[in-house]
Amino acid sequence: MKDGKSTVINAMDCIHCSLCIQNCPVKAISVQHSWREAIAIARRHFRRSSL
């Protein structure tokens, strides 16, 4: 989070929370993921305390 906004430095930091989609004024962002990608995200982030 920077200045109250979520920021993703690279694709590996993305947890598909859809905040970027909700906050994009022109709705130019699309997040596509499958259940396999969701499991991989959970595995990468299971020790983290933040989003």
Q: For tokens 């979520």, what's the residue?
A: 6
What are 12-21's pLDDT values in tens digits?
A: 667 677 777 7
User: Residue 38 CA to chain centroid, in angstroms?
Assistant: 11
pTM of the predicted protein model: 0.39
Domain ranges across the chain:
1-51
pLDDT at 7: 65
Among candidates 45, 25, 13, 38, which has minimal Cα distance to 2? Answer: 13
Question: Are 20 and 8 within 8 A, CB to CB?
Answer: yes
pLDDT confidence of residue 41: 75
